[in-house]
Structure 1
Amino acid sequence: MALRVLVVDDEMLARARLRTLLAECASPAAAVAGEAAHAGQALEWLAANRCDVVLLDIHMPGLDGVELARRLRAQDDPPAIVFVTAHAEHALQAFELDAVDYLTKPVRRDRLQAALQRVATRVRPPAAAAPPTGGDADAGVLLVNDLGRRIRVPVSDVLYLKAELKYVTLRTATHTHVLDDSLTDLEQRLGPRFLRVHRNALVARGAMQALERRLVPGDGADDVAEGWAVRVGPVGEWLTVSRRQVAAVKDAIAEGGL
């Protein structure tokens, strides 16, 4: 079954290009279920219709795409979000909002297809989703790029994975690597050994050492606020914990990561 797509962009030509590219995508297939020229029109459409993913521009008259994504994320069972924009400076905000992907204009078909594959992994049962492409977590390793080489990192060595800009940082006790995979894909592939402590971080249960109230990054680029954070050993780094995950982190620490 084709993914149902809502295209939100104030430029008619941009919407037309996305329609053309979506028609050329085959794995998974996608169909334009609706279009909107601004956020208000998108909210009106979504109140009466269902879609799997919103292809969302950021700079639009009135409510911008980031604020629209924030409102959608607060809803029950929201559609997946893929930002499509000519501006790269909002990438961090996009991934803090748990966007599936962030595409820059002019959009290439292969990048759009990869984004749709990530959407399919999120919205469909695992058996129907596209197979993972970035590693071999089922075999106990992840494949990463390291100075032009492909190396195998044992999953047992991974302390945490954190979404930053367009990439995911993988941290072991001795090295930091960069992955192209989305955090959502990695969460599904790695299974219960890792806990989603925040929308931008997965932490190995056995690596959690302490949970404390600390100053953590706020919503703005330079903001800090008091919140919960978990200490990751043996590196001793602190990662922000969302309020709804505090109890799960406490349980993981009490159980010794088992």
Structure 2
Amino acid sequence: MSDVPSILIVDDEPVARSRLRELLADLAPDFPHRIVGEAPNAPEALSQIEVAQPQIVLLDIQMPGMTGIELARHISARAQAAESPRQMPLIIFVTAYDEFAVDAFEVRAIDYLLKPVRAERLGQALRRALTRLPSEHAQQIDELAVATNTRRRHLSVHERGRVILVPLEQVIYLKAELKYITVRTKEREYLIEESLTGLEDEFSDRFVRIHRNALVARPSIAGFERVQPQGDTEGGDPYWQVVLRDVTERLPVSRRQWSIVKNLVG
């Protein structure tokens, strides 16, 4: 395997991707590297990152469907939940608008390039990227997303070699099971590798914790019902469980969380 940095180019404009390839070719004598691919949109970028595991991503900010900052937060969330930090590529943002959150970028030491990109500036950004630690970079990405009020509108599911974007408003609950999170929608279940605590922090206005291993979307709570244990647990203390809209599952509410959860439905 080559020791030179691997680079993925992400931009919805073919001309912009071609421009970056040309600049990288000009820099090759002083900055040896290998380009592992190009992606025109967020789902394709996520798929290629999963397979190629590039060390550096040149990421356009203004893309239709999902902005570069939102995409970066998907990358960060997945990397922080993974067992190895090597899965977090170092991101250099590219933008055509110098007024776009420049202060937030500079304060958080996140590198960005203004279009039209110049070879000298690209070279500086590439060398600077290699001095960062992936774990610190992931934190910087999260801080940038908060500072620019960039929220994820989807959860990214890696399934059979492809990426599925599940709209957040379709998610009924999130449940931690071993190292995975089950994402339940009306139609089906998905599995993602993220932190339940991280998801709770990021989407606290939409989800409420009902148990140490479960978050439920507030709009999906239809009510509560009190359950008397039966079978092997007969004789135990009664407990509350959540009645959900659109699915038949019932999820138990822990004693610790009941005082918070019970006020959600009038």
Q: TM range, normalised to the smaller chain?
A: 0.3 to 0.5
In our comparison, the structure showing a higher alpha carbon Rg is 2
TM-score by length of 1: 0.46
TM-score by length of 2: 0.45
More strand by share: 1
